Amino acid sequence: MSLTNKYRELITAARAARISDLQVKEQNGVLHIEGIAPSEETKQKLRYLYERLDSDGSGDVVMNITIPKTNGQNN
């Protein structure tokens, strides 16, 4: 099973959450997911979903989801 298929639910959730500049690519046995979340809450929801899907702790996803810097917030 490809990683894109294994994490299809996560990718679909990222699209539904309107992650901007979403990039999903599989390289060398690792799925890279990058983009900009509209809020910290959205970012955390994706993180929790990833943790649920990766229940065996394989660590085969690198997720770099940031949030826009506003009002002094950090990514």
**CATH number for position 50:** 3.30.70.1770
CA distance to 37, 66, 75, per residue, from 69 (Å): 11, 9, 7
What is d(CA 34, CA 32) in angstroms, rounded to the nearest whole number? 7
Identify whether 26 is part of a domain: yes
Count other C-beta atoms under 10 Å from residue 68's C-beta. 12
Number of folded domains in the chain?
1
The larger pLDDT score, comparing residue 72 to residue 3, is at 3
* 74 has pLDDT over 60: no
**Domain of residue 47, residue span:** 3-66
Q: What is the pLDDT of residues 35-65, one digit of tens each?
A: 999 999 999 999 999 999 988 888 899 999 9
Domain assignment present for residue 25? The answer is yes
Express each pLDDT in 3-22 by its tens digit: 999 999 999 999 999 999 99
- Give the per-residue pLDDT at 1: 67
Residue 73 lies in a domain: no
| Structural domain contains residue 23 | yes
The pTM for the full model equals: 0.84
Q: Is residue 72 part of a domain?
A: no
71 lies in some domain: no
